[in-house]
Amino acid sequence: MAYDQDLAFVYFGPTKIVFGAGAARDVDMEMAGLGCRRALVVTDPGVMKAGLVEGVLKALGERCAGVWSDVPQDTGIGVVNRAAAFAREKGADCVVSVGGGSVIDTGKGICILLTEGGGLENFEGIQLLTRPQTPHIVIPTTAGTGSEVTSMAVILDERKGQKILIVEHFNTPRIAILDPKMTEKLPPLLTVSTGMDAMTHAVEALQSIQREPIADGLAMQAIRLLHRCLPVCAQNGADLAARGQVQLAATMAGWAFGNAMVGLVHAMAHSLGAIARVPHGIANGILLPHVMAFNREEAAEGYAMVAEALGVREKGMDELAAAGAAIIEMGAFLRRIGHPLRLSETGTKEEDLVKAAALSLSDGAIVNNPRMVLDEEEVLTVYRAAF
């Protein structure tokens, strides 16, 4: 293994996982176990409309201090500050987030403000906090972001028009309740695109310059489960067993990338999201095999592990050949699950690619990519291959 020479790392993953169909109904018991009495429930209008919050509110009963459902697709500092003021007014001593990445990140921000006071604009940075924050229980309604187990929150600073990053070990959610029923009604495209977000987290963790054995193990199992079960979910969303395995995979991939970080796929997907509004999971999925081809030589060892997890590493294959097999299988997998294959299918215009390539070079994820990227022409070549 390449990592045994000067291996030194910190693995951090303190979140308790509660898994099972109907597990969301246990939220009151989990909350009581944390010693909390009044929860602010954070969600968004789409999740409310889908009826996914009702069961949680019923389970919480009088333990629910209030519901904040005004979370937009990209949450912001103003949203968090207003929600935290509401939570204080209601006397909340914990937060229960029911939703996807934006809702969960809003919940993370509220937890900081309930403990520390002030506005979230004062907490931009890394590991600034010195004590455990307000308890946070997360009930994801998508299976992809992994945010339920990471220390990171991405929040829009509305005044500056840019996203800020807050990374705090002390603010990692205490409990994630993974209830397959919460993802049962996800439509096929959202199912496969969020699933490919998770797949990308796992593959990029395995190729990262910060990869380490624990994250590698989690990433490998996440890939196996996604490879086996995401096609089932795409065909039959009501298959709760497959839904559950995909949720677990997303969480494992969250632990993997939360420790080992992500790379060029994410840098390019973030940039396409900013320039052409391509949804994050779709951009990740389309770009993944193309970036793997770009990284193949430098990441051959990690991709050979991807090939093993995908079941395409044949006996006698060297790492480079196995990496090639992984790339081919990833493309075939996208076709099997009905995921978009070309950026041109997403409304992206060719001129967007030039702007996105330039922006990618300044994205933080790029520093963890195994192949050093110094020139926007290199990024543009990958974008064009995926166009």
CB nearer another protein, residue 128 or residue 214: 128
**The one among 7, 29, 126, 332 contacting another protein by CB under 8 A:** 126
**The one among 169, 185, 336, 371 contacting another protein by CB under 8 A:** 169
User: Helix 77-89 vs helix 101-116: angle between axes, to the nearest 10 degrees?
Assistant: 60
Show the binding pattern over residues 12-51: x = contacts another protein (CB under 8 A), - = does not: x---------------------------------------
DSSP character for 76?
Answer: B
CB nearer another protein, residue 191 or residue 259: 259
Residue 174: name the closest of 376, 300, 31 by CA: 31
**The one among 127, 159, 344, 349 contacting another protein by CB under 8 A:** 127
CB nearer another protein, residue 43 or residue 151: 151
Q: What's phi and psi for 138, nearest 5 deg?
A: -115, 130
Residue 128 found at the interface with another protein (CB under 8 A)? yes
Strand bridging mode 39-42 / 94-99: parallel
- Tokens representing 184 are 């049962």
> ∠ CA 168-181-96 to the nearest 5 degrees?
35
**The one among 22, 118, 125, 311 contacting another protein by CB under 8 A:** 125
Least separation in angstroms between CB 271 and another protein: 12
Question: How many CA atoms, within 13 angstroms, populate the side-chain half-sphere of residue 340?
Answer: 22
**The one among 3, 9, 66, 217 contacting another protein by CB under 8 A:** 9
From the list 109-117, 160-168, 274-282, 286-294, the region that binds another protein by CB under 8 A is 160-168
* Cβ-contact 87, 152 below 8 angstroms: no
The DSSP-derived string for 17-69 is EEESTTGGGGHHHHHHHTT---EEEE--HHHHHTT-SHHHHHHHGGGEEEEE-
Amino acid at 266: H
Residue 364 found at the interface with another protein (CB under 8 A)? yes
**The one among 363, 369, 382, 387 contacting another protein by CB under 8 A:** 363
Show the binding pattern over residues 250-289: x = contacts another protein (CB under 8 A), - = does not: -----------x----------------------------
From the list 14-22, 89-97, 237-245, 363-371, the region that binds another protein by CB under 8 A is 363-371
Amino acid at 289: P
**The one among 1, 45, 54, 124 contacting another protein by CB under 8 A:** 124
Q: Based on C-alpha coordinates, what's the Rg of the chain?
A: 20
CB nearer another protein, residue 226 or residue 272: 272
Least separation in angstroms between CB 141 and another protein: 27
Residue 165 found at the interface with another protein (CB under 8 A)? yes
Residue 309: name the closest of 225, 220, 230, 229 by CA: 220
CB-count exposure of residue 94 (10 Å: 0-12, 13-18, 19+): buried
User: Which residues 179-218 are close enough to bind another protein by CB under 8 A?
Assistant: 210
Least separation in angstroms between CB 8 and another protein: 8
Residue 347 found at the interface with another protein (CB under 8 A)? no
- 257 contacts: CB under 8 Å, gap ≥ 6: 146, 150, 201, 202, 204, 205, 208, 215, 219
* Cβ-contact 245, 20 below 8 angstroms: no
From the list 57-65, 162-170, 194-202, 375-383, the region that binds another protein by CB under 8 A is 162-170
Amino acid at 23: A
Residue 8 found at the interface with another protein (CB under 8 A)? yes
CA 320 to CA 317: how far, in whole Å? 8
CB nearer another protein, residue 22 or residue 125: 125
CB nearer another protein, residue 154 or residue 321: 154
As beta bridge partners, residue 178 has: 19
- Interacting residues with another protein (CB under 8 A): 8-10, 12, 124-128, 163-165, 167, 169, 210, 261, 362-364, 367
